[in-house]
Amino acid sequence: MQQLSNRDIADIISETAKLMELHNVNEFKLKSLQNAAFVISRLESPLTSVAPGELEMIKGIGKSISQKILQILQTGTLDELETYLKDTPGGVVEMMRIKGIGPKKVAVLWKQLGVESPGELLYACNENRLIELKGFGSKTQDQIRKAIEYSISSKGYFHFAALDHPAKEITEALKNSGLFSKAELTGAIRRKCELLQQIEILVAYNNPASVLTQL
């Protein structure tokens, strides 16, 4: 597995916190994760060099967060994050990447307006449907519309929806090739980030010499 940086670990914890906020989960636990993500992103020494028993000694981490860090280092993800991702439409996860709206507002758009993707959100903005919602207004609606349009026009990036299907097809082809014992999506596409620059796939094989010969 690719070695994770402190930023990678912080991003995974932060993503979990955002999804918890989206689903209106325990606020104390949410704040704990948000604080931990902030602390980890500011650490100078890589967490990969810290002994497991010493993680909880770092100020702002503690026993509970240290266990989550260990799971991330061992698996590349968190069980909680994977559970929330399964319970959340991919398009809704994308909407949380849009500048100007956080998890709470995305929850309103999803639950009250039935919007489940950036494309549907742009359509709703063009129909002036956001101004009907509490906490929104014409200014916020315009900001969201511009943010979506900008993300679409950004060069060198692809929307998650555009790469989701081909990424799954490539991963499946690798699994069925007989060359690899494991093939899984990793990085930004696994976290369902709104904009992507590439498809990253983690593979494992039992016979390196055989794979090199066949490739």
Residue percentage of the chain with pLDDT more than 90: 44
d(CA 185, CA 166): 11
Render pLDDT for 11-44 as a digit per residue (tens, 0 to 9): 999 999 999 999 998 888 889 999 999 999 999 8
Kindly tell me if the per-residue pLDDT of 103 is higher than 50: yes
Kindly tell me if the per-residue pLDDT of 68 is higher than 60: yes
d(CA 174, CA 67): 32
SS3 at position 136: coil
Distances (CA, A) of 47 to 9, 10, 61: 9, 11, 11
Render pLDDT for 115-166 as a digit per residue (tens, 0 to 9): 998 888 988 998 999 998 988 989 999 999 988 877 766 656 677 777 888 8
Kindly tell me if the per-residue pLDDT of 114 is higher than 90: yes
